[in-house]
Amino acid sequence: MSSDRFEVVIVGAGLAGVAAALTLARAGVEVLVIERGDFPGAKNLFGGILYSGVLAELVPDFWEEAPVERHIVNRRWVMLNEDSQVALDLKSARFDAPPYNNTFTALRSKFDRWFAAQAEQAGALIINETTVEDLIFDGDRVAGVRTGRDDGDVLADCVILAEGANALLSEAAGLRQPMSPTNRVNAVKEVLALPPEIIEDRFHLEGNQGAAIEYFGGAVKGMVGSAFIYTNRDSISVGVGCLIDDYLRTKTAPYELLDDFKAHPAVAPLLRGGETVEYATKMIPEDSYNDLSDLYAAGVMLVGDCAGLVNPSIHHEGTNLAMASGVFAAEAFLEAREKGDFSAAGLASYRRRLDASWVMKDLAHYRNAVHFLRSNREFVDDYPRLVVELIRDYFTIDDTPKADVRRRLIRKVRDEVAFFRLVRQLWQARKTLV
Ligand SMILES: Cc1cc2nc3c(=O)[nH]c(=O)nc-3n(C[C@H](O)[C@H](O)[C@H](O)COP(=O)(O)OP(=O)(O)OC[C@H]3O[C@@H](n4cnc5c(N)ncnc54)[C@H](O)[C@@H]3O)c2cc1C
């Protein structure tokens, strides 16, 4: 193996890059992963649900050794107004046994390090503290990367870009559409340390069970986005994430939104006593399926967030799509290697693999989700507020006869909701959001 040429160079040791590296290394490919952080995960942040179906295929029974936090048995979706909450609460004993519904909380600084070590053990070389500054072209073909180190050029048969949401290299090379405030969410997240016993008592959990709660409506002041609380082993992740366009439109600062959310009377008791141990902000791509690029060109493939592969629906999945795309890119490379053809045509099986999988089927299904919410704002603002008010008022106990309460609430709905618009919206929502 020469020091300046590898069969594959991967930019970024996040979930997508490492899944690709692990698959390639196991197949005996000379693979170099270049990561700008001090170690894999050092610069990585997510809310915290690791969807682990692909991971379980790569590392069977990973939960026995991987530094995941808790397996999630309780999921809750909550609508808030200024003083009340209404929740849909799912808790299942089925999620309490392997494979734990493929849903774990995790902290990336621990998890990514472990995941990268699996790729290293399989034979991948991972270089940290090195930023890829540019792509090297040979005519139209991507032929390698230029790093910030002296003598920092590395050539490759194929470059896999796994650089995450801030996809500067991919954009500069014209391989994907530029970022815009309407296709990026900005998220702010805080990790609050709490003793495990308090977390378990407070969230009604036993042992290593975990809870994931997502909040809508008033929690994010009617913007397109959500707030969340996830339980880790001895900490809680709390955060908010909304379209950048909405922050600009409402002149709201993300950190103020998080402060207000944390102070809500239904939220503050869950966080009480927690000591801040981490505070960070990051972007999430919300590209629509309609806007995805080809995802590959001669000598290069895009995987994970830099390819825009995030499910923007209520499922909020990115981790599993990142890993799946890494595996598909690795498999496409292996096929191209057999033919000795790393041209765009030679790598085209990457897109075919994605298209044939749940990844593109899900993205295609939810292709209009964000656009629908942006153009039907009642779904993120008026309707959640109204639902909370109606249910709160229906169960408010005073001397009013129940029949009068019912009549008052029906009148309120008639005053505030345009019936035929709602029917049309529900019809569209059925196809775009569900
Ligand atoms: C706040 C937040 C909450 C989220 N919550 C969830 C959730 O609960 N569940 C879920 O499934 N998904 C969630 N996501 C999305 C999920 O985190 C991503 O989809 C996933 O991490 C994408 O993996 P990736 O490997 O593509 O990118 P990343 O994990 O971002 O990794 C990119 C890597 O590339 C490195 N890098 C970037 N540029 C360079 C360069 N030029 N040179 C060298 N290295 C470079 C970075 O340091 C990083 O290590 C969330 C995202 C955010 C931001």
Choose which residue among 319, 320, 321, 363 to substitute to test ligand 1 binding: the one with the highest number of ligand atoms within 8 A of its C-beta: 319
Number of H helices, E strands in the chain: 16, 17
Among the listed residues 116, 111, 142, 109, the one whose alpha carbon sits nearest the alpha carbon of residue 34 = 116
- pLDDT at residue 180 in the model: 86
Nearest CA to ligand 1 atom 31: 14
Q: How far apart are CA 241 and CA 261, in angstroms?
A: 12
Q: Which atom of ligand 1 is nearest to the CA of 12?
A: 34
117-120-122 Cα angle (round to 5): 115
Q: What residue ranges in 176-303 does DSSP mark as E strands? A: 184-193, 209-217, 225-231, 235-243, 275-285, 296-297, 300-302
How do beta strands 225-231 and 209-217 pair?
A: antiparallel
| Residue among 170, 184, 240, 284 to mutate when testing ligand 1 (max atoms within 8 A of CB) | 284
List of the chain residues with pLDDT < 70: 1-3
- Please name each of the domains of the chain with its CATH number: 5-67+107-177+288-365 (3.50.50.60), 184-285 (3.30.9.10), 370-432 (no CATH)
C-alpha span between 343 and 357 (Å, rounded): 23
| pLDDT at residue 2, rounded to an integer | 42
What per-residue confidence (pLDDT) applies to 1?
A: 38
- Both structure tokens of 1: 């193996």
Judged by DSSP in three states, 62 sits in: helix
Give 45 Cα–ligand 1 centroid separation in angstroms: 7
Q: Read off the pTM.
A: 0.95
Angle at the Cα of 147 from the Cα atoms of 142 and 151, rounded to 5 degrees: 105
